[in-house]
Amino acid sequence: MARLIRELILGNSLLLTLLAVAGLIITLLIFQFASHRRWGLAFEKMFAIFYIFISPHVNVPPFNYLHFINLAAVNGGAVTQLPYVFYPWIVFVLCGRFIQFFKHQFVETLSFLALRNPCFLLYCFLPVISALWSLVPEVTLKAGLAFTGFTIVGFYIGARYEWSQLSGLLRWGYTAIAIVSVLRNPNVGREFAGITSHKNSLGGLMVLSTALWYLHYSQTAKTQKEKWISLLLMFFSFYLVRATSSGGSLVNSLMLIVLVSSLNFLSKLKFQWSFTFLVGFMVLGTIGSVYIVENLESIVVGGLGKDLTLTGRTEFWPQLIAAANQRPWLGYGFEGFFQQDTLGAKTPAYFIYTSIGFQPRTAHNGAISVLLSFGYPGLAMIMISLCTNLFFAVRELSRRPLAESGIPIIYLVFIILNNMTEGSIADIGDVWLAYLLVTVRLSVDSAKSASGNNRSYDRQLGASFHPD
């Protein structure tokens, strides 16, 4: 249907002209409305929700053509170039908001990020730079540019909104994915993927949606109506977690519910105990989820719907690590390893199989994905960045309301657990966007908290030298 409409429009010059004129008029009207502060903020928030909605690369036209990942297509058609039109259009209609941001926030936010989490900033340059040593330079360069564009937009959203606002944008972005998934595929059954590319992708999104709505219900919702809406959407999200038949998503969802329920307890502990508890929780949770998913047949087959070998991951992970050790310093470049179809035997991925003949196309593990792309230095950067974020997130528990400080805790725990069996941190998608938003906000908040403490100390010191 989408192809028929595209051919109809492109094949009729009069219709194409009318659409162009209509588009110009609509653009000018939106530009005029967006020039007012109130309307500009509303349009910007709608764009942020839309960006979160398309971040997992949904398969609904025309939204799937607006994701930056289309720019990574080596032999894509004209439709894959739509991001080159769409995002400049967004910049034009919201130019007042962007000008304000670059005048007042951009340099400060970037400096906070560079000072507080330098490894993250360095890591962001690797996808493009890795084209210099990639097995497929053209593929890596295109993918790296797509990654950079995707990251720049995410950086803007993260710098622009506080935790309370981000929470709302993320919740409604995920809920929109859930609602459209059900509307498009009303017969919700086993292994339900909705409008995403895979059931695990939808499962991960609904895990976060469940946790965020539960946090909103327990910490933010004031009126009875708001509490009921939060509870309803929480159960709706959890229902879709079950519908995906993803054992890992179900375990992660239950763990995050426990985590949100424990936030009050965590916030009352001293920093070192909170940090230790959180790390221990993730370690035990990882071991527990792998043990449940991999070993207990009665639970796995009957309850979680998974096989006993993590779909063969434990067979090819050692092979992938061995391949990474062949190029330990630089890796194979961004999107440069799993190129069996293009390179054949020139990439080690060509020789990696499980005992049943399955050949993986992704690493199914975040750390291994990063290791294959950028070597051990790249892996060290993302690991140091992650530990830095955990440090900042735990510290914020005692400094901010739980409705805000709980958000980065939820995301960081989820990202760690999710990337045990998925390589999502290394993809241009929703998990990378989430990690980007969390990193930007934690860096800004940490820097501002430090400067606030210094000013408070200076005032106290000044008062001691100037007694009344």
What is residue 269's predicted lDDT score, i.e. its pLDDT?
Answer: 84
Supply the mean pLDDT for the chain.
86
The pLDDT score that the predictor gives to residue 40 is: 87
Question: For position 259, what pLDDT does the model report?
Answer: 92
What are the structure tokens assigned to 347, written together?
């990439």
Q: With contact defined as beta carbons under 8 Å apart, do 421 and 444 qualify?
A: no
Quick one: pLDDT at residue 9? 55
Helix axes 2-10, 13-34, angle to 10 degrees: 100
C-beta of residue 135 within 8 angstroms of C-beta of residue 173:
no
Closest CA to 213 of 156, 172, 159: 172
pLDDT tens-digit readout, 388-439: 999 999 998 888 899 999 999 999 999 998 898 888 999 999 999 999 999 9
Whole-number pLDDT of residue 11: 58
Among 259-263, 377-381, 420-424, the minimum mean pLDDT is found in: 420-424
Residue 7 pLDDT > 60: no
Q: What pTM value is reported for the model?
A: 0.90
pLDDT tens digits, one per residue of 142-187: 999 999 999 999 999 999 999 999 999 999 999 999 999 999 988 8
Q: At what angle do helices 366-396 and 430-465 cross, to 10 degrees?
A: 30
pLDDT tier, 280 (very low <50, low <70, confident <90, very high otherwise): confident
pLDDT of residue 456: 43
> Residue 93 above 70 pLDDT?
yes
Q: What confidence score (pLDDT) does residue 288 get? A: 63
The set of residues, in sequence order, having a beta carbon less than 8 Å from that of 203 and lying 6+ positions away, is 240, 241, 244, 246, 248, 249, 250
Cis peptide before 83 (omega within 30 of 0): no
Across the range 4-14, mean pLDDT stands at 59
In terms of pLDDT, which residue wins out, 164 or 188? 164
pLDDT band for 298, please (50, 70, 90 cuts): very low
Identify the residue with better confidence: 347 or 256. Answer: 256
- Within 10 angstroms of residue 284's Cβ, the number of other Cβ atoms is 11
How high is the pLDDT of residue 441? 96
pLDDT over 70 percentage in the chain: 87
Reported as a single tens digit per residue, the pLDDT across 52-80 is: 999 999 999 889 999 999 998 877 677 78
